[in-house]
Amino acid sequence: MTPAARISAAIEVLADLIQRRRPAADALKDWGLARRFAGSKDRAAVASLVYDALRRRASSAHALGEETPRALVLGMLVSQRGLRPDEIAALFNGQNHAPAPLTEFEVAGLATFDLSAAPGWVRADVPEWLWPSFVEAFAEHAVAEGEGLSARAPVDIRTNRLKTGRDALRAALSHLQPEMGAWSPDALRFQPGPDGRGPTLQSEPAFFAGEFEIQDEGSQLVAALAGVKPGDTVIDLCAGAGGKTLALAALMGNEGRIFATDLDSRRLSPLHDRLTRSGASNVEVRVPRSRGHDALSDLAGTADLVLVDAPCTGSGTWRRNPDAKWRVRPGALAERIREQAEVLDRAAGLVRPGGRIAYITCSVLPEENDVAVEAFLERHPGFALVPMRDLLSAGEVDYGLLARFATQSGLQLSPARTGTDGFYLSCLAAPG
């Protein structure tokens, strides 16, 4: 496929996902299945165009004066790809599967592409209804934070210290030009290529040997700050595929016990193979037998640490899932808030006296973060916030520089602040 034909394909995929309100991955999969002639490079290029257009959806629609799939692609080619109007016109020539030539309206919009007078939510490329939450979270930095969440994300990996060290792993992957992580002592980073994608790490021998897991550095960081120690009894209450479970096992050096569970038993399926590959031997997966079954009833009041990687909107991962921010609705946010309260209340019954709950989200919205923690403290007045100085000085690394990103009740990471996905952490000490 020519570059122009790939642009036509991206416009077609965008029309499908917008009209049917479906995830971009589903629309791209259907497009690829219907066009077997498209090779892997074509599919990757079309996907990159679609995701880049979604990153800049609000600003492109504002600058071009309409929110059509074609306008979203045109705006993205200016703001994200840096193309000049004449370069875009050469691609939109209507020949050999290229998009139709530019209209006078489009030419004028490209020539005067300017967001300086646009509302904050447009410049930030954030849904308008969520803009007040962004302003509450980031004040005068809200636009910059939205821009950070609209950029392409790097690929981070966590060195599995049960198998190797970061320096040795970096040497083994030197052909992929890894960078050292800025915060986590186990992190290596790979920048996206021109197509927006990183290297195919899961085909590396070191991956099959269990020497690393793909995990954003922010996710690594909040796991490290949760306060786990070798020998602890830990419950990972929303373990899912087990990224943080594996990180905790490595931090504990396989000493102590980790009980990993999730209300949705299907999400736990990948964890079994990952555990085998990682060499983690102190993890027991508790799979609920039914929706109402409590797989942890025998562990009430016993955990030194309960990790709550809570269900949330995922607003902190919009770099990786740019279509998700345009599909989230107020009803979904309300449902996540309800679920967060329920899982925190459950954690309160599992932690031992004097133990700790680590509440984590991949969100930047105060409603899911500080507000959720403050509501928990009102329901459970015996619990108290772990002071930020204690949170940041625990473990093997002094994270004192992160104190500038403290919120009322926790710590907020973000692409603009820490170069990571948007993660939130608050630690709560149980009475006793």
Pick the closest to residue 420 from 396, 399, 393, 389 (CA basis).
399
Question: Is 86 annotated in some ligand binding site?
Answer: no
Question: Is 30 annotated in some ligand binding site?
Answer: no
- Residue 188 contacts residue 174 (beta carbons within 8 Å): no
Pick the closest to residue 9 from 45, 40, 33, 60 (CA basis).
45
Instruction: List the alpha helices (DSSP H) in 112-174.
Output: 120-124, 131-138, 142-149, 166-172
- Residue 350 contacts residue 303 (beta carbons within 8 Å): yes
Residues 6+ apart with CB under 8 A from 174: none
* CB atoms inside a 10 Å sphere around CB 297: 10
Cα angle vertex 297, ends 291, 303, to 5°?
120
Q: Which residue bears the tokens 């329901």? A: 379
The dihedral sign for the CA sequence 392, 393, 396, 401: positive
* CB atoms inside a 10 Å sphere around CB 142: 23
Task: Provide the annotated active-site residues.
Answer: 362
* CB atoms inside a 10 Å sphere around CB 96: 10
CA 185 to chain centre: 20
Binding residue positions for S-adenosyl-L-methionine: 262, 309
Going by the annotation, the residues of the binding site are: 262, 309
